Amino acid sequence: MFYGFDIGGSKIALGVYDSERRLVRETRVPTPHDDYSRFLNTLAGMVREADALYGEPGSVGIGIPGLPASADGTLYAANLPAASGRPLGRDLSALLEREVRIENDANCFTLSEAWDDEFRRYPLVMGLILGTGVGGGLVMNGRVISGQTGLSGEFGHTRLPVDALTVLGRDIPLLRCGCGQSGCIENYLSGGGFAWLWQHHYGSRLTAPEIVERWQAGDSQAREHVARYLDLLAVCMANLLTVVDPHLVVIGGGLSGFSELIEALPARLPRHLLPAARVPPIERARHGAAGGMRGAAFLHLKE
């Protein structure tokens, strides 16, 4: 059996998957905030309960919103104060007497999609999350490409390319990012960025869903706004495609529910790519909010 933890600031979810990658059990508990021992024992208790239920020790994977391990093997996750700065993987592996694998939740999202029945035929899968922030991941032949420090797929912290200034106007403010830099594409392509661009160009405050609702009603400003956003997304994404050259792109996050983005994007990409490049299939994520838990469970899968 394959166990996948999706750990966030408020809840710990454990999904149990069988050899056919089907979810057979899911449990949730509140996330302990102040006590590392209680945090560890909560995870271990959930695993042992599943072991007893299925009569075998399952493999354990964990998805977390942060960096799985720094140079000294400790976890960095700002919204998991009980575990941040601790060697979670090493300690839990020792407690459970089996290997525990930990990955960033965006990588787990991508891995979940790469193991979808429809997508398994693609060797190199790029995940792109357009939600509260902008993130993603890379999966090659069913395995996450983490990079030297676990930062592979942090697409949101690449900077606005030159062509983006043509789309947005060369006087566009280079917004300060939470990472400490300015001009990160996350501030323009995330759900909040989608709304900020509306306010910047039209002077009124609307949420992303409200803008989409206006677009669906045929509002001319909303149509213009979405076209501009799509052009910006194409410019930024073309840089990623040139570097990665994936066989498939899967888009998740709140904005992925706006089907126009998925449908209209491929036609906008070719003019920003090399002549020999091919636009890969671009699909909406199939597994939604379950992707982090599902991908964590599949950290132990092999082709």
- Mean pLDDT, residues 218-225 taken together: 97
| Sequence ranges of the binding site | 4-11, 133-140, 157, 177, 179, 184
CA distance 213 to 95: 51
The model's confidence at residue 216, banded by pLDDT at 50, 70 and 90, is very high
- Mean pLDDT, residues 168-174 taken together: 92
- Mean pLDDT, residues 239-260 taken together: 95
| Residue of 70 and 22 predicted with greater confidence | 22
| Sequence ranges of the binding site for ATP | 4-11, 133-140
pLDDT for 150 equals: 82
Name the average pLDDT for the chain. Answer: 94
The residue type at 256: S
- Mean pLDDT, residues 22-37 taken together: 94
> 53-62, 65-74, 143-152, 243-252: which range is least confident on average?
65-74
CB neighbours of residue 123 within 10 Å: 14
Contact in structure between 109 and 98 (CB atoms under 8 Å): no
- Mean pLDDT, residues 192-221 taken together: 96
Q: Is the pLDDT of residue 301 over 80?
A: yes
Q: Is the pLDDT of residue 114 over 90?
A: yes
pLDDT for 74 equals: 87
Question: The whole model's pTM is what?
Answer: 0.93
Top mean pLDDT of 77-81, 230-234, 299-303 is at: 230-234
Specify the 3-state DSSP secondary structure of 62.
Answer: strand
| Sequence ranges of the binding site for Zn(2+) | 157, 177, 179, 184
Domains of the chain: residue spans and CATH: 2-110+289-299 (3.30.420.40), 120-284 (3.30.420.40)
CA angle 160, 187, 76 (to 5 degrees): 105
Query: String of b and e for 21-41 (b: at least 16 CB within 10 Å)?
Result: bebeeeeeeebbeeebeebbe
CA distance 3 to 61: 6
Q: Is the pLDDT of residue 295 over 90?
A: yes
Instruction: Encode pLDDT of 129-167 as tens digits.
Output: 999 999 999 999 999 998 888 888 899 999 999 999 999
Scanning 1-141, the segments in alpha helix (DSSP H) are: 36-54, 88-96, 105-114
Distance of CA 41 to the CA centre of its chain: 27
The model's confidence at residue 59, banded by pLDDT at 50, 70 and 90, is very high
Q: Is the pLDDT of residue 71 over 90?
A: no
pLDDT for 73 equals: 78
Q: Is the pLDDT of residue 76 over 90?
A: no
Closest CA to 235 of 158, 145, 292: 158
